[in-house]
Structure 1
Amino acid sequence: MPLPRPSLPRPHRHDLLIAFAGFAVGVLFWSYGLYTTGDRVFGQRWAALVPLAAMTGAEVLRRVAPRTALAVGTVALVGDQFTNGNLATVLMFTDVVYAAVVYGTPAQARRVPYTTALVTVATTVTFLVWWQNAIALLVGAITGMLSLLPAVTGSVVRNHREAAEAARLRAEQTALLAEMDRAQAVVAERARMARELHDMVANHLSAIAIHSTAALSLDDPGTTRQALTVIRENSVAGLAEMRRLIGLLRDSGAETEPAATASLAGLDTLVAQARANGAASGLRFVLDDARRDGPALPAPVELAAYRIAQEALTNALKHAAPGEVRVALARAHGVLRVTVTSPYGERPGPRAPGSGAGLVGMRERVALLGGSLEAGAVAGNGDDGAGAWRVWRVRAELPVDVSEEERA
């Protein structure tokens, strides 16, 4: 099967108009006998039309094939010197040189100005040696006007166009980077909102699910009343947290008073709440705060530590076997360590359903602060109160500002 021939580029319509106008003006000059020279090798009147027609063809190709147009135009200009000459042929040649620089390849755009400069100098020197009078300088000036000046003009125009194109590309890249930053900021904000929503509400909803299950499964009025009391307390607290979060989202663009941020100062209350929620499941909660006195922790570190402990306690309420759940805090060598251990054993199923987003949220919080997180079953030492040889341990290490540690 024969390969298809490559289609020839179609001339630009502006080039066709330029070529037609140049040819029409040339024919007008020719009809009135307006020539550029006197007697030449080809003195016939029609001979001047041949270079004019060739130059017209070069004008047609000035944009789609600038190298070919320059070659054809150069031959036509040289041929015009052997006829009576036509001013339109000379003027169209200057446009062909200009187009060769503007629309040609980068290498051609660099070579044409240097080549025309050499031609101008060579022509001036040659005629100066031959004639030895000032007319040679006039011929050199005319040669420069017909070749060097259009080439330099085309080089200036091309440089301006390339600078404008580079500026446009930089603007597009800046807009693209801005859009990427905006998209990443939206994703990061959505992830932060998801973590906050999960950490604030999941604990209350887990307690509600656990105690509602107990109230439905036990036929004891006292236990049912106690479970309903816990359910009401957690539902009210969860609703308050939801309202606070919705208020923050709605008023994010307004000037409002800063809302209280969760910190380790409220960890006692969190453990006490978990103790009340997990008592019916045989869970005991202990807080072991071994931090030494020192400068205050950065707010992001306190918030992350609080949320990690909160999520670990929520998971213990859902999955831990009866026994002791211990929350331990320690700070040393520029690191805040948060460790939560709970009894690990075989259970028929969780006390409350989970989404699996808790560990993901903890890892994201730790990663944002450049820390590390370990979560999994480990061997217990048997005397830690866990009541089992295996415990589930969540341990997070959050870097603290080293300068603060050094000043302590």
Structure 2
Amino acid sequence: MPLPLPRPDVVDVRIAAASLVAGITLWSLGLHMQMDRPLGYGWTLVPLFVMTGLELLRRTAPQTALACGTLALIADQFTPGNLATVVMFTDLVYAAVLYGTPTAARRIPITTGLITVAMTIGFLAWFREAEALLVGAVTALVSFAPATTGVLVRSHREAAEMARLRAEQTALLAEMDRTQAVTAERARMARELHDMVANHLSAIAIHSTAALSLDDPRTTRDALTVIRENSVEGLAEMRRLIGILRDSSGDLEPAAAPTLDGLGSLVESARANGLDVTLDDTRAPDGEALPAPVGLAAYRIVQESLTNALKHAAPGRVTVALSRPRGALCVLVTSPYGDTPGPRAPGSGAGLVGMQERAALLGGTFAAGPEADPDAPAGKVWRVAARLPVDPADQEVTE
């Protein structure tokens, strides 16, 4: 089954109709281009109608239209000729370069240029007069000139298309960068929110459960005291976080961010919540100051580890150890591993992910999991170990 011909473009239809009207008008007025031709004046209409039909294919089948148009133009040379036929042929040459394949766009200008040179030399050899140069000029105007015009227009269109594609790619990359920046900022805020508030909410949940499950006024009063303290501290932390979100100066970690100097207060708060915690800080008291991102990350890792111990650790001592070997800050938190009696607060696993992300952002290492310990009540401890590079040159990414 033959394939249907493509539907001509509206612009091509208008060009064909206008050219046909112009050609018929010239023919009816008796205006022609040549004298003493083998065929009569009526035969001029045949190439004219053929060329008009080919104009409908100038965009959908440009190379076919040019090949057939060349034959029609040759046939027109045996008639008195019509100017509209020649003009339509020049348009077919232009369209074949502009809308044809890249190979055709390269070959047509070369071919028409060679034809122009050959026609000029041939008629010079035949006529042996300077007027023969006019034949070459007319041939160039009919074939080579529209071909080179098509090359220029096509080059400009391709350059504009390349510029448009580059602009789209640039916009796409900018959007990807913006999305990644937003995602990274959300992840950072999620870590900050979790680290600041989870400890207080876990203590509130555990002590409120104890107050509800034990019918002891003293226990209830103590639990409510701890709940109030954690509520006030949690509210203060939330206000600090809101201050970070409202800060328009772009300072991601304002001066109010906690440092390792506040570990003593953090440990005391954990003891008030019921943990048996010891702090072993072997860093040199007069050593070099830690970079702010390293101090914040270490503080948050200890804070989250104590929160997890409050929620999940078995009865026993929790130890927090900080050391500073050359070029790094090491954090080690161990807690008893086993079944927890009494109420427990649910966990989501986001804390471990947050600690690992904090260490990774600084180019450090992080590990957490159970480990055998013969001195522990259940023979195992939960060990959280982080190594954070202190030298900025060793940090791949900083917050």
1:71 to 67, 77, 98: 67
Specify the SS of the correspondent of 1:375: strand
* Contact 1:374/1:394 (<8 A) preserved: yes
Q: 1:142 aligns with which of 138, 146, 161?
A: 138
1:203 Cα deviation after fit: 0.4
Cα 1:191–1:358, aligned 2, differ >3 Å: closer, same or farther? same
Q: Which range is displaced more, 180-189 or 244-253?
A: 244-253
Question: Runs of 4 or more off by more than 4 Å in structure 1?
Answer: 253-257, 402-405
Of 291-300 and 388-397, the range deviating more from structure 2:
291-300
Work out whether residues 244 and 253 of structure 2, in 8 Å CA contact, stay in contact via their aligned partners in 1.
no
Deviating more after overlay: 230-239 vs 206-215: 206-215
1:177 aligns with 2:170: no
Query: Is residue 290 from structure 1 mapped to residue 282 from structure 2 by the alignment?
Result: yes
1:92–1:404 Cα change, 3 Å: closer
The match for 2:356 is 363
- CA, structure 1 residues 373+120, in 2 after alignment: closer, same or farther (shift >3 Å)? same
Summarize the Cα distance change of 1:402–1:235 in structure 2 as closer, same or farther, 3 Å threshold. closer
Q: Which moved more, 1:32-41 or 1:310-319?
A: 32-41
Aligned to 2:86: 90
* Maintained 8 Å contact 1:324/1:387: no
Q: How much does 1:187 deviate?
A: 1.7
1:169-208 → structure 2 map (5 Å cutoff) = 169-208=165-204
Is 2:302 the partner of 1:306? no
Q: Match of 2:55?
A: 59
Structure 1 segment 391-406 matched on structure 2, within 5 A: 391-401=381-391
SS in 2 for 1:332: coil
How does the TM-score come out when normalised to structure 2? 0.93
Identity of aligned residues (%): 69
1:315 aligns with 2:308: yes
Distance, in Å, in 1 between the alignment partners of 2:217 and 2:28 is 121
Which one is further off, 209-218 or 226-235? 209-218
The alignment partner of 1:325 has SS state of strand
Please say if residues 203 and 273 of structure 2, whose CA atoms lie closer than 8 Å, have aligned partners that are also in contact.
yes
Deviations for 1:161-207, whole angstroms, at most 9, x for unmatched residues? 11111111111122222222222222222211111111101101111
SS, match of residue 324 in structure 2:
strand
| Counterpart for residue 330 of structure 1 | 323
CA contact (8 A) 1:328 1:339 kept: yes
Deviates more, 1:317-326 or 1:178-187: 178-187
CA distance in 1, matches of 2:170, 2:208: 55
User: Cα gap change, 1:100/1:264 in structure 2, threshold over 3 Å: closer, same or farther?
Assistant: same
Q: SS state of the match for residue 37, structure 1?
A: coil
> What's the counterpart of residue 210 of structure 1?
206
Deviation of 1:216 after TM superposition, in Å, equals 2.9
Distance verdict in 2 for CA 1:339–1:73, change over 3 Å? same
Deviations 1:251-302 (A, max 9, x none): 4469999441121111111111111212xxxx42111112245432222221
Structure 2: stretches of 5+ with no match in the other structure: none
In the alignment, what sits opposite 1:373? 366
Asked if the contact 1:208/1:234 (under 8 Å) is kept, the reply is: yes
| Residues 6-42 of structure 1 deviation map (CA, whole Å, 9 limit, x = unaligned) | 3321001111111111111111111122111111222
Distance 1:333 1:355, change over 3 A: same
Q: Which TM-score applies when normalising by structure 1? A: 0.91
Q: Secondary structure at the match of 1:338?
A: strand
Whole-angstrom distance in 2 between the partners of 1:348 and 1:272: 23
Partner of 2:35: 38
Q: CA 1:304/1:402 → structure 2, altered by over 3 Å: closer, same or farther?
A: closer
Return the offset for 1:350.
5.9
Aligned equivalents of 1:57 and 1:253: distance in 2? 69
- CA contact 1:378–1:390 (8 Å) conserved in 2: yes
Instruction: List runs of 5+ in structure 1 lacking aligned partners.
Output: none
Task: Note if contact 2:16-2:56 (Cα within 8 Å) is conserved in structure 1.
Answer: yes
Give the corresponding residue for 2:223.
Answer: 227
Instruction: Measure the CA separation in 1 of the matches of 2:319 and 2:193.
Output: 24
Superposed CA RMSD in Å reads 2.2
Residue 12 of structure 2 is aligned to residue 19 of structure 1 = no
Residue 234 of structure 1 and its aligned partner are, at CA, apart by 0.6
* Residue 334 of structure 1, CA deviation: 2.4
Q: Do the aligned residues in 1 keep the contact of 2:363 with 2:394 (CA within 8 Å)?
A: no
- Quickly say closer, same or farther: Cα 1:294–1:259, change in 2 above 3 A: closer
- Cα distance in 2 for partners of 1:267, 1:24 equals 94
| Secondary structure at the counterpart of residue 367 of structure 2 | strand
